[in-house]
Structure 1
Amino acid sequence: MTRDPLRELLDAVLADDDGAAVGVEEMAARAFTSPTHFARVVRRRTGEPPATLRRRVLLERAAWLLRQGRSVTDVAWDSGFDSLEGFSRSFSRSFGIAPSRAGELAAHRLPAPSGIHFHAPAALWVDAEPTEASMDLTAVLVEHDLADTTALLDLAAEAPDASLRTAAVSGLTPAAFDDADLSPAVLLRTQVHTKEVWLAAIDGTDFPDLGTAEVAALRQRHDEVAPRWRSFVADTAQRGGWGDTVVDALCEPPQSFTLGGIVAHVLTHAAHRRALVRHSLDPRLEQGNGDPITWLETRP
């Protein structure tokens, strides 16, 4: 895997030198380039000169260490300052309070055009670019669930019929509203039918038929319900309606649920079913492990 070029620059700027002050020449040498070119590239990529970026991140680290109970003197030396007075002056100018009062800070981060910050205990935090939309976590989880269900239906379409009808996990009690049959075919049917049922409750339509557990039919039903489910989640998020309540007349007796609770409920049990199906059909996980972080990395 190739390294991120920005990370390469940051490593050159922020490498730990046991508290010693580091000049642009030394930073550039780490990056195997000239000081002039290095300073220009860092400033273009981060919005800060290398020395300013390094000093700010070290001050953020200093604030974090002070809030953990480290002494001002120790932190001053660790942060590359050659005098306690110089450290106190720089810290006070940056945070608005003396280092001895760092415990009063709500956070250790300082304003940064790059969004690059110290992240405890020994890492960096890079904010999303201001021009980019922030990640909508609910939308990501919903999209991952739909995509992973599609992948499992495709995997099931290639599996022998016997493996679709046999549960690989025994002795596991499913949720009260799930079928006791833990075969992949039935689990996938429940996965699809659950969204059909909740959308019917939200839309006020009739209870949908359970239908067949044949993979081809389930794939078609999933392709039909997925955009409806995605649209419901997007519309609810846009109008801030997660706290809205729906009275589910399909329950006996009718019950009330918040829209946020419905989505959280569906995602929780969907992840459990997907894990069971994947374990049944692909015990060696040759088709991936269904992890959202891996899925996000491979999205186009």
Structure 2
Amino acid sequence: MTESTPGRDRLRELLDAVLDEENTRLTDMADHAFASPFHFTRRLTRDTGESPVALRRRVLLERAAWQIGQGSSVTDAAFAAGYGSVEGFIRAFGRAFGRPPGSTTPGSGTWLSAPNGIHFHPPIHLWVQERTEDRPGMDLIALQIHHDVDDTAHLIRLAEGLSEEAYRRVRAPGLTVLEWDGPEESVAAVLDHLVRAKEVWLASIEGADLPEPGADDTGGLLERHTRVSARWIATVDDIGRRGAWGDRLIDALCDPPESFVLGSVVAHVLTYSAHRRQLVRHMLRAEGLEVGHGDPIEWLQDRHHDGGTQ
């Protein structure tokens, strides 16, 4: 079997081979995936709980149901799904859906029971549901929290490659993200605010005193970030576990004290953290450093490719 293209999902390559319009036989699918029929079947069945032929037949029936619901004739849908006769298609459709294809309407269900969450998604795509037997369903807030933490650490490490002068150079005179935070004109200032925002909001949530400013060199920032990130992740996880997003926080650090909804605090931190991370990227590029996009899609793909989980 040949090596996959770096960053390419091997399972998706196998699925592409199964569902390619030209690959009507198992040998065609295996050839498309550069594998023997035996190894192709074993790998796909292991990863999806469904044989290649059964998966193809089911997904094409789901596509046929959608096409009929959109106005396609039963005959056209039957031949598009690879059936040699309309009668054979009608029998297969009835066994799978429990209804004749002619009764399908735009509101009819088009997904069949599957052991892997892999379904047809119109007009030509696959939809892969989370497999809860493998890991819990993806928590969107947790994904954003972890991405923010990882990306901030990544940017601090990149900034270690700058000279002290470049690290503190004013690159955006007068730049202010939030009025009460003051100017953020350099890489050092923006990174410091990225870390300090979590320190201050955690102090508010925990009812602690306003934290003293910490070291803002890259080594000091990375140490502060490591400490506060562990607390931040645990705190947000606890809020979610208790379903406490609507609880109110009385922030005694404000003068006078103010009331904030916990969910809005988390959204606030994520919003301005994302903004500041992109600001840092622009500044680092201006200093000649190669910086990625900070895209959560790429981040999650890299974690899965490296064997990590979310």
Confirm or deny a common fold (TM above 0.5). yes
Q: TM-score, normalised by structure 1?
A: 0.83
Contact 2:176 2:182 in 1 (8 A): no
Query: Does 1:296 find its partner at 2:300?
Result: yes
Unaligned 5+ runs, structure 2: none
- The Cα offsets for residues 103-135 of structure 1, whole Å up to 9 and x where unpaired, read as 122x53211113322233323233344232333
1:270 aligned residue: 273
Choose which of 165, 190, 207 in structure 1 pairs with 2:193. 190
In 2, the alpha carbon distance for the partners of 1:190 and 1:33 equals 52
Q: How many residues align?
A: 296
Mean Cα deviation higher: 227-236 or 69-78: 69-78
Question: Match for 1:296: what amino acid?
Answer: L
Alpha-carbon displacement from aligned partner over 1:193-244 (angstroms, at most 9, x marks no partner)? 1111111111111222345544343333222211111111222222222232
Matched, 1:11 2:11: no
* Length-normalised TM-score, structure 2: 0.81
1:219 and 1:38, CA in 2 relative to 1: closer, same or farther beyond 3 A? closer
Is the Cα contact below 8 Å between 1:163 and 1:281 reproduced in 2?
no
Q: Which aligned pairs between 1:157-176 and structure 2 lie closer than 5 A? A: 157-169=160-172, 174-176=177-179
CA distance in 2, matches of 1:38, 1:217: 51
Separation (CA, whole Å) in 2 of partners of 1:152 and 1:36? 46
Cα distance in structure 2, aligned partners of 1:182 and 1:58: 56
* 1:111 match: 113
Aligned equivalents of 2:209, 2:64: Cα separation in 1: 61
CA distance in 1, matches of 2:57, 2:72: 19
Q: For residue 144 of structure 2, what is the amino acid of its counterpart?
A: L
Which letter maps to 2:18?
V
Superposition pairs of residues 1-300 of structure 1, within 5 angstroms = 1=5, 4-17=9-22, 22-28=24-30, 30=32, 39=41, 42-99=44-101, 100-105=103-108, 107-129=109-131, 130-169=133-172, 174-211=177-214, 213-283=216-286, 286-299=290-303, 300=306
Query: For residues 123-166 of structure 1, what are the alpha-carbon distances to aligned partners after superposition, in whole Å with 9 as ceiling and x for unaligned?
Result: 32333442323333322221221122122222223312332333
Q: Structure 1: where are the runs of 5+ without partners? A: none
The alpha-carbon distance between structure 1 residues 67 and 279, as it changes in their structure 2 partners (threshold 3 A), is: farther
Decide which moves more: 114-123 or 29-38: 29-38
Provide Cα deviations, 1:60-86, integer angstroms capped at 9, x if missing partner. Answer: 112233344444443232122334444
RMSD: 3.0
**Which has the higher mean CA deviation after the structures are superposed, 172-181 or 195-204?**
172-181
For residues 120 and 28 of structure 2, the distance between their equivalents in structure 1, rounded to whole angstroms, comes to 21
Shift, 1:189, TM fit: 1.5
The percentage of counterpart residues that share the same residue type is 50
